[in-house]
Structure formats: structure tokens, C-alpha cells
Amino acid sequence: MSVILNEPPQGAPSAAKGRRSEESRHYLVSEILRFSQNDICVQNDTEAGIAVGAPHGGADAMKVPDPQAVRKAFGRIARRYDLLNTLLSLGLHKAWRRRAAALCGEGRWALDVCVGTGDLSRRLARRFRRVVGVDFSRPMLQVAQRRGGAALIEGDALALPFGDDAFDCAVIGFSLRNVADLGALFREMARVVRPGGRVVSLELTRPPGPLLGWAHRWYVGAVVPAVGALVDREAYRHLAETVGAFPEPEAIAAIMAESGLREVRIQRLSGGIVTIHVAVVP
Ligand SMILES: C[S@@+](CC[C@H](N)C(=O)[O-])C[C@H]1O[C@@H](n2cnc3c(N)ncnc32)[C@H](O)[C@@H]1O
């Protein structure tokens, strides 16, 4: 079942905090939490309002992802997404998610941006009283809905439908490569997290060092597209291309800092195949 939210929060999203009135603060979070775990709330302007974006920063030139193409691709692969994750990561993604969830800390409300099928949310639900997940792909959300663990919203990560300081933490898993404007994304995540709360990202990266680097290039360049083609050739070719061209963790950390986040830390897992960024909202 889905619920259409016809009343978006008051006031336009702002990069600077504190422009919204006290009355509008948390308005949509409490509204969403009134619905059961199994409803998908639809931000009423999702279709029309998906932000287009700006080039990713960093040393590597990566094409700006086209949000509509990304949305369609995840719509096509939603039912097989979890299985492919387990196959292609050889099961390691579970440990990576566990680590990212642990670095989110504990608290009342957590936000899972680009929630997908909700795997990370289910881990966050052990640490936070309630978890809200946002994604613009309805088929991905429908899988998450069946599995439970989070209140779900169909919406745009670049225009989060919440007031300032609404959450204790915001996390994004394996999605930076799909988002069209990283600066805008981190500013939005920082805006909706209370001062002292954390913004966390878990992302596929390229391992440093010649041997692991070579093995990784082979795996991502040959194995991922071949296995992925069994489900959706284009989507998994995109995955391989974006991992190869995505900015280095240090460049991502710099974008986070430029977006107003503080104490940005980088933690590499599995030799650097995956990187977690943790930052604090000032
Ligand atoms: C690779 S999946 C990651 C899903 C999940 N976070 C995980 O850890 O498995 C990327 C997700 O980001 C979503 N996405 C990409 N850009 C988005 C945007 N601008 N707004 C909302 N969702 C977006 C896609 O629909 C997709 O579900």
C-alpha cells in the first residue's frame, strides 16, 4: 500500500540551518511515523522534482549520472538486487553494512538515504528507535516494504522532505555513485541531522596498491559486467564504469567538508574495496 503525502513540509530546503520555523520542524517525520512500517509514503512531487545535478568533484572525471536513467535501472533490477549484492561481494557486503551501522552510533531517529531494498535500514533498526528510508525507485521500495524495518518514502535524496535537525543520523549506502550532485546531497544530509549527529557513507572504492588494484580492476571490469548481464547488462556495466571513475575517498571527504560537515574520517574496509566516511554535523 502507498500513502500520498499531499502536504509537503513548509518552507524551501535551505543550505543554512535554522531558516525553517519551529512549527514546521519534524513535521513530516512525525507524519510519516504515524503510518505503519508497511506503507510507502510518496512525496507528491517526486516525479517532477528530481534534481539534475552538477559534476562530481575529485581528480577523476565521472559523467554526471542521469537521475531518470538511474531510477529506471533500479526499477528493472529491484527483485534481483539483493541476490546480486551477495554474489558479487562474495557475501562481504553484510559485514560492511554492519560496520557502517555501528559507526552511525545509536539514538532515536535515523535516516537511510537511497534506502534501496532496506538492508542497511534493518541493521540501523537495532540501534535507533525508528528508521526512515528515502528512495526514488518505487520497485526498490516495494522490496524494502516486504522486508520491513523502516518507514519508507518515495522521494529525492537531493530534496529531502524533512525539516532541519530532524534526525540523529543520516546514512547513505552504495549510492554516492548514482547521485547527481554530491555537494547538494551532503548539504541535505547535514541539514536534516541535528548538531552533533553523524552523516555516514558506505561506498565501493578502488583499493590502493598495484596487486590488489589490478585484481580489483579485473574483477570490476570483467566479472561484474559478466555476472550482472544475467540480470541487466546496462545497469551492471554502469556499476563497473562508475566504480572505475569515481573520485578517491580523500576527494569525497573534501566534498563533505565543503558541504559544512566536520571531523570527516575515512575508514577503508577489505583493503579499500569499500570505504566508510563518517562526519559530524556542527
Ligand atoms: C546501489 S542502490 C543502494 C541501495 C541501498 N542503500 C543499499 O545499501 O543496498 C542505489 C539506490 O539509490 C537510489 N537513488 C539514486 N539516486 C537517488 C536520488 N536522487 N534520490 C533517491 N534515491 C536515489 C536508487 O533508486 C537505488 O535504490
User: What value does the mean pLDDT take over residues 44-53?
Assistant: 51
Strand order in the sheet with 193-204: 2-5, 40-43, 151-154, 128-135, 107-113, 167-173, 193-204, 274-280, 262-269
From the CB of 135, is ligand 1 less than 6 Å away?
A: yes
Task: Output the pLDDT for position 62.
Answer: 60
* Confidence band of 24 (pLDDT split at 50, 70, 90): very low
The model's pTM is 0.88
Q: Can you tell me which atom of ligand 1 is nearest the CA of 81?
A: 9
The mean predicted confidence, pLDDT, of the chain is 85
- Give 66's DSSP letter: -
Query: What does residue 92 show for φ and ψ, rounded to 5 degrees?
Result: -70, -20
How does pLDDT run across 211-244, given as a tens digit for each residue? 999 999 999 999 999 999 998 998 888 888 888 8
DSSP state of 187: H
* C-alpha of residue 150 to centroid of ligand 1, in Å: 15
pLDDT for 59: 39
pLDDT in tens, 118-160: 999 999 999 999 999 999 999 999 999 999 889 999 989 998 9
Cα distances (angstroms) measured from residue 221 to each of 6, 59, 167, 242: 44, 20, 38, 11
Measured in Å, residue 175 CA sits from the centre of ligand 1 at 5
User: Is the beta carbon of 125 within 6 A of some atom in ligand 1?
Assistant: no
CA–centroid distance, residue 70 to ligand 1 (Å): 8
236 lines ligand 1 (CB under 6 A): no
Give 90: exposed, middle or buried? Use CB within 10 Å, 0-12, 13-18, 19+: exposed
Q: Is 179 in the pocket of ligand 1 (CB under 6 A)?
A: yes
Q: What is 2-8+19-280's CATH number, 1.20.1290.10, 3.40.50.720, 3.40.50.150, 3.30.70.270?
A: 3.40.50.150
- Strand runs labelled E in the chain: 2-5, 40-43, 107-113, 128-135, 151-154, 167-173, 193-204, 262-269, 274-280
Domain ranges within the chain, ordered by starting residue = 2-8+19-280
Name which residue sits closest to atom 26 of ligand 1, judged by CA: 116
What is the pLDDT, as a whole number, of residue 109?
A: 94
| In the predicted structure, residue 7 carries a pLDDT above the cut 60 | no
Helix/strand/coil percent split, the chain, to 5: 45, 20, 35
Q: Which of 227, 250, 243, 249 is nearest to 77 (CA)?
A: 227
For ligand 1, whether the C-beta of 204 sits within 6 Å is: no
